[in-house]
Amino acid sequence: MPAWPIWLLSCFGIALAITAWARGYALRRNLLDQPGERRSHASATPRGGGISIVMVLLLASAWLAWRFPGQREWFGLFGAGLVLVAGIGWVDDHRPLSPWLRLLIHGLAAGTLAMGFWLEGTGPWPAMAAFVLALGLTNAWNFMDGIDGLAASQAGLVSLGLWIVLPSPWNWLAIGLAAAAAGFLPFNFPKARIFLGDVGSGALGFALAALLAAGLSKGDPSITWLLWVLPVAAFVVDTAFTLAWRILNGEPWWTPHVQHAYQRWARQIGHRRVTVFFALFTTGTVGIWLIGRGAQPPFVILVFIICYTLAGCLWGSSRRLKD
């Protein structure tokens, strides 16, 4: 294996270069996110920059499959699922598609990932967890990609934690994802010059789901499943609560909107502050996750309840903000 610095610099540099290319491509093709709908910006901004992260993940997966023959099937099926998610997102970035078609493809990708775990001999529960995580986080990251730096920074922070706790070779994929997110962020924060687009946001969620599922089935057995889902609390709560709110109010939940907590807060205090606040919250949950390894179940349950309750309260406070 290459040394960590070489691996990090390679993933970072490739993402940086492809994001620059993607911005030029989007401007030439007039692939612009206009203000409104799911976006909280005042001016049109290019989209599709997340193709850089996708390319890094695919190259990393190919390298790791070659380097670790025992996990070749897993990395192959992970790559296939990633191509499905990123591919439908790339098409959707060029021309709008039916949300039901996207959901169908996301389901196929989740099933492909689950098959990878099944063939690894992990049993039905890890495969089922992989399917649920993939379908849920793919759409959560897609929904939450609406302000400068938010989706990429969250994925980078969670990936850093995964790098520490995952065994080889999955820790190499985790830090590669973090480096790729870092290569994209200079174009997306503090002022977005390009967005991830559906090609990148869904791919980030899918990749994180794969890594979290790998942790559940192959990681440190002292880490209970409640701790594994702690780092994604901010995105899970905002996505789930907002969807539930729209459904209960009889709104078409599958259509674009600006009702997420992060969007409501961004209109009040600005994109940068919201992204930084989310980063601080997730840094805290990742820290608790790392410190809590090997903790007794009562402590883990208490921490889980506190973190998710806090996230829920912050979501509830956003409903009182004036639009």
Residues annotated within the binding site for Mg(2+) are 142, 198
Q: How far apart are CA 256 and CA 80, in angstroms?
A: 28
Binding residues: 142, 198
* 30 Cβ contact partners less than 8 Å away, ≥ 6 residues apart: none
Per the CB < 8 A criterion, the answer to whether 43 and 50 are in contact is: no
DSSP 230-243: STTHHHHHHHHHHH
Burial of 293 (0-12, 13-18, 19+ CB in 10 A): middle
Per the CB < 8 A criterion, the answer to whether 38 and 258 are in contact is: yes
How many CA atoms lie less than 13 Å away from 207 in the CB half-sphere?
Answer: 38
Q: How far apart are CA 311 and CA 176, in angstroms?
A: 28
Q: Torsions phi, psi of 46, nearest 5?
A: -60, 155
- Angstrom distances, CA of residue 101 to CA of 78, 82, 280: 20, 16, 35
Q: How far apart are CA 144 and CA 142, in angstroms?
A: 6
Per the CB < 8 A criterion, the answer to whether 146 and 260 are in contact is: yes
